Amino acid sequence: MFGAGGGTSSYQEIEETDVILLWGSNAREAHPIFFHHLLKGVDNGARMYCVDPRYTSSARFADVWAGIDVGTDIALANGIGREIIHAGLANQEFIAHATQGYDAYAASVEPFTPDAVAAVCGIPAEAVVEMAHAYATAESAQILWTLGITEHHNAVDNVLSLCNLALLTGHVGRWGSGLVPLRGQNNVQGGGDMGAIPNKFPGFAGVDDPDHRARFEAVYGRPLNPVPGWHLTLMFEAMERGDLRALYVIGENPADSEADVVHARAQLEGLDILVVQDILMTRTAEMADVVLPASVAWAESNGTVTSSERRVQRVRPAVSPPGQARHDIDILCDMAEAMGAELGPRDPQEAWDELRSLSAMHGGMAWDRLEAAGGLQWPCPDEDHPGSAFLHGWLWADDLEGHDPAPFSVLEHEGPTEELSGEFPLRLTTGRALDSYNTGVQSGKYDSPLRFAGLDMNPLDAAALGIADGDRVRVSSPRGSVEMNARLVSSLPSGLAFTTLHNPELIDVNVLTNPDWDPKSGTAEFKAAAVRVELVEAPETAGASVG
């Protein structure tokens, strides 16, 4: 966004906001407890708008659901921006004070009239106008998103298109207003904060910045590589080129979770050595040359995780790890020692104190403060600092506290890279269900009465293909075919099909998904594949639905 990567707002703020724009997120199922806070906001009178290709369980709580075509988010965001400008609702004072690039932005959104947006996105023009007016005239408003925005080949542009709306209206940097990406894992925020990304040290210090590097080298006692590394997608490209021959995978299951997974598995199989450190025998672990059993971070280890509201909280061991499973930190340190390196403290508290000495935004988070119930939100620079409820308050400061004005972005609508065709006429999108998590490695182990594995289809689409509820169908994309059971869902727009990613052992959905990826984030376009659906057999003999 415009600074460190993190949701700008606290959960408590959504309870007090006036307009909620939930965009490409089914938080009701993917972030249920955050949704409790959202519902308090709605109960307190907030109006809620939901933009999503599917009429999700979240959308059912909305005042207005707009079911856009998959991958047309930038067109809609630009259209909303244009309408705000044309209606005279842009916050010109804020724009002049805290932003740059407005004129170019305003010119760029000019073609996105409500009618033009309606044609691109497949929603009525008045919905564009209504959302624009509601968002711009609200006292406070939040835009929230998840993978519906980011699992596209132009993920970062999608995010920036939403940031533009906040800059246009001043809905950022103050209590109740903000831009909130909801994180999918308990420490995806913390992982980035801690430097588990290819180009940053902890605290978002760039590896290519000599000053930052010097600080870290001083503490780590050795020179550090100044060249940003590869993210996962680049690693797979490197594997394909033969540049990457050895892979050490910790707590990730790319053999199931990568888009175009058949291709990904082939790359993993071609490695000289694959080491997997995990808590369970994932499909990736089954392919590995060496498996290092690890303890369960949140139930068997000491440490911290950081949530979507930048809150650092303690995890603690409740049970002891089984068999030969060991804590990740011990495995890593031993591995390093075997290679002749000393990684530093193994004690979680000592490691944390080292981190605090290097990452200013964590500086005030003493271990005993974290111990106290509740955790602390970064930035928290010193021990008297209470933590920060929201980010970017500087946008409203007289002198911007020394920051450069926040930039508008000029963004073009592209749409999904894989266009629908006669051969592949349906749009397949993927997502999560309430009772399951990612590739189901963990969540598949409990007995959920809600579990469903299959393909959701519009009844009219199904009827045209001779498919009835419960029929076995074959779903094919340019990359492969997968069989599953069909479920007819009347609220799903025609032309759209949906399945979750949770049951790869039953439905190898990533055989189908589109690997085209965003060069800025490395994320693949999981959300938009072109597919064909065909009837396989009658339900009497159809295969399993789980649970």
Residues of this chain, 11-30, that bind other proteins according to CB under 8 A? 11-12, 28, 30
Q: Which is nearer to other proteins, 161 or 306 (CB)?
A: 306
Q: Which is nearer to other proteins, 155 or 441 (CB)?
A: 441
Q: Which is nearer to other proteins, 47 or 213 (CB)?
A: 47
Q: Which is nearer to other proteins, 53 or 515 (CB)?
A: 53
Q: Which is nearer to other proteins, 212 or 502 (CB)?
A: 502
For residues 478 and 467, what is the distance between their CA atoms, to the nearest angstrom?
22
Taking the complex as a whole, the smallest distance from the CB of residue 450 to other proteins amounts, in Å, to 6
Query: Which residues within the stretch 91-110 sit at the binding site for other proteins (CB under 8 A)?
Result: none
Among 127, 155, 165, 475, binds other proteins (CB under 8 A): 127
**How many Cα atoms are found within 13 Å in the side-chain-facing hemisphere of 134?**
20
Among 298, 367, 394, 396, binds other proteins (CB under 8 A): 298
DSSP 225: -
What's the distance, Cα to Cα, between the start and end of the chain in Å?
41
For the stretch 272-278, contacts whose Cβ atoms lie closer than 8 Å and that sit 24 or more positions apart, written own/partner, are 272/245, 272/246, 273/245, 273/246, 273/247, 274/246, 274/247, 274/249, 275/246, 275/247, 275/248, 275/249, 276/249, 276/250, 277/248, 277/249, 277/250, 277/251, 277/328, 277/331, 278/249, 278/250, 278/251, 278/253
Query: Which residues within the stretch 393-412 sit at the binding site for other proteins (CB under 8 A)?
Result: none
How many C-beta neighbours within 10 Å does residue 185 have? 12
Residue 316 sits in the site that holds other proteins (CB under 8 A): yes
Taking the complex as a whole, the smallest distance from the CB of residue 438 to other proteins amounts, in Å, to 9
Size of the site for other proteins (CB under 8 A): 82
Q: Which is nearer to other proteins, 284 or 436 (CB)?
A: 436
| Contact pattern from residue 234 through residue 273 relative to other proteins, giving x for each residue in contact according to CB under 8 A and a dash for the rest | ----------------------------------------
Residue 83 sits in the site that holds other proteins (CB under 8 A): no
Among 494, 520, 538, 544, binds other proteins (CB under 8 A): 494
Q: Is 103 left (phi over 0), alpha (psi -120 to 50) or beta?
A: alpha
Stretch that binds other proteins, among 43-51, 228-236, 394-402, 475-483 (CB under 8 A): 43-51
For residues 298 and 482, what is the distance between their CA atoms, to the nearest angstrom?
34
26 token code pair = 């089914």
542 token code pair = 């159809």
Residue 367 sits in the site that holds other proteins (CB under 8 A): no
Using alpha carbons, select from 495, 497, 477 the residue that is nearest to residue 487: 497
For residues 176 and 414, what is the distance between their CA atoms, to the nearest angstrom?
32
Alpha helices (runs of H) in 151-301, residue ranges in sequence order: 155-169, 188-193, 210-220, 232-241, 254-257, 261-269, 283-286, 297-300
- Helix/strand/coil for 486: strand
Query: Which residues within the stretch 172-201 sit at the binding site for other proteins (CB under 8 A)?
Result: 175, 182-189
With 0-12 / 13-18 / 19 or more C-beta atoms within 10 angstroms meaning exposed / middle / buried, residue 230 is middle
Q: Which is nearer to other proteins, 20 or 482 (CB)?
A: 20
Among 79, 348, 387, 415, binds other proteins (CB under 8 A): 387
Using alpha carbons, select from 24, 72, 70, 74 the residue that is nearest to residue 49: 24
Q: Which is nearer to other proteins, 105 or 452 (CB)?
A: 452
Q: Which is nearer to other proteins, 52 or 483 (CB)?
A: 52
Stretch that binds other proteins, among 94-102, 209-217, 294-302, 528-536 (CB under 8 A): 294-302
Among 24, 67, 431, 504, binds other proteins (CB under 8 A): 67
Instruction: Tell me whether strands 64-66 and 99-100 are parallel, antiparallel or unpaired.
Output: unpaired
Beta bridge partners of 377: 311
Taking the complex as a whole, the smallest distance from the CB of residue 305 to other proteins amounts, in Å, to 5
Residue 539 sits in the site that holds other proteins (CB under 8 A): no
Give Cβ neighbours of residue 92 (< 8 Å, ≥ 6 apart).
Answer: none
Taking the complex as a whole, the smallest distance from the CB of residue 296 to other proteins amounts, in Å, to 5
66 token code pair = 């707009």
Taking the complex as a whole, the smallest distance from the CB of residue 122 to other proteins amounts, in Å, to 5
Among 62, 207, 530, 542, binds other proteins (CB under 8 A): 62
Residue 153 sits in the site that holds other proteins (CB under 8 A): no
| Contact pattern from residue 427 through residue 466 relative to other proteins, giving x for each residue in contact according to CB under 8 A and a dash for the rest | -------xxxx---xxx-xxxxxx----------------
Among 114, 379, 493, 522, binds other proteins (CB under 8 A): 493
Among 218, 318, 338, 339, binds other proteins (CB under 8 A): 318
Residue 124 sits in the site that holds other proteins (CB under 8 A): yes
Q: Which is nearer to other proteins, 290 or 372 (CB)?
A: 372
DSSP 326: B
For residues 136 and 114, what is the distance between their CA atoms, to the nearest angstrom?
16
Q: Is 316 left (phi over 0), alpha (psi -120 to 50) or beta?
A: beta
Using alpha carbons, select from 531, 517, 529 the residue that is nearest to residue 264: 517
Among 315, 365, 482, 489, binds other proteins (CB under 8 A): 315
Among 5, 55, 271, 535, binds other proteins (CB under 8 A): 55
Q: In one letter, which amino acid is 446? A: Y
For residues 4 and 1, what is the distance between their CA atoms, to the nearest angstrom?
7
Query: Which residues within the stretch 272-291 sit at the binding site for other proteins (CB under 8 A)?
Result: 279-280
Beta bridge partners of 300: none
Q: Which is nearer to other proteins, 154 or 307 (CB)?
A: 307
Stretch that binds other proteins, among 41-49, 103-111, 219-227, 391-399 (CB under 8 A): 41-49
Using alpha carbons, select from 97, 109, 99, 116 the residue that is nearest to residue 161: 109
